[in-house]
Amino acid sequence: MDKLKQAIIEQGVVVSDQVLKLDALLNHQVDPQLTMEMGRQFADLFRSEHVTRVVTVESSGISIAFATAYALGVPLVFARRKKSLQVESEVLCERVPSFTKGMVTDLLISKEFLKENDRILFIDDIIANGDAARGLIRIIERSGATLIGAGIVVEKCFQPGANALRESGIRLESLAKIASLEGGKIVFAE
């Protein structure tokens, strides 16, 4: 996906060897054209899996998950983040650490929107350590639904999240793989 890589090079800001700021295209501003294109690409990759719901985490996953769900013609469900809560019985909740925010948050999805016969495609903007993804996957498992795969816009290959999920048997597809940010330079894998 050359337009995405071009946008990352032109608009991404390397903050450190670990963190790439992508506010201009993912985390603060959204390019609707590019986002819809990425949604179609995820839809094409996973169409044969008979997805019934697309699931993401608020907030930055929502635009790309929306585009994917639109292209597949299925609903989008986004997990909510809460700092603390009284767990209600009709809600599935997992506590996850947050790398950038330096605290734990609770991810919640109502049982109403994840059913046993669902076939779930997980979509997210960035994968780093994969803590949020793992939390969401636990929620999907607990609901009894089937996770058919994960589509991620930006995979940071130098952090363990994506490969750990692949090693656990999940089909994970990313649109841009970043091998390194060292010395302020964005290096793509492949």
Cβ-proximal residue to ligand G4P, closest one: 99
Q: What is the DSSP letter of 51?
A: -
> Distance between CA 55 and CA 119 in Å, rounded?
10
Q: Pick from ligand G4P, Na ion, none: which does 123 bind, CB < 5 to 8 A by kind?
A: none
Q: Which of 43, 69, 128, 157 binds ligand G4P (CB under 6 A)?
A: 128
Q: Which residues are annotated as a binding site for 5-phospho-alpha-D-ribose 1-diphosphate?
A: 128-132
User: Taking CB under 6 A as the criterion, which residues in 62-91 touch ligand G4P?
Assistant: none
Strand partners, 78: 56
Residue closest to 63 by CA, chosen among 99, 25, 96? 25
Among all chains, which residue has been given the structure tokens 């993401």?
A: 56
158 binds ligand G4P (CB under 6 A): no
Tokens of 21: 């700021």
> Distance between CA 180 and CA 14 in Å, rounded?
10
> Distance between CA 154 and CA 24 in Å, rounded?
14
149 binds ligand G4P (CB under 6 A): no
Q: Pick from ligand G4P, Na ion, none: which does 139 bind, CB < 5 to 8 A by kind?
A: none
Nearer to ligand G4P, 46 or 122 (CB): 122
Binding site for ligand G4P (CB under 6 A): 19-22, 27, 57, 59-61, 98-101, 125-133, 156, 161
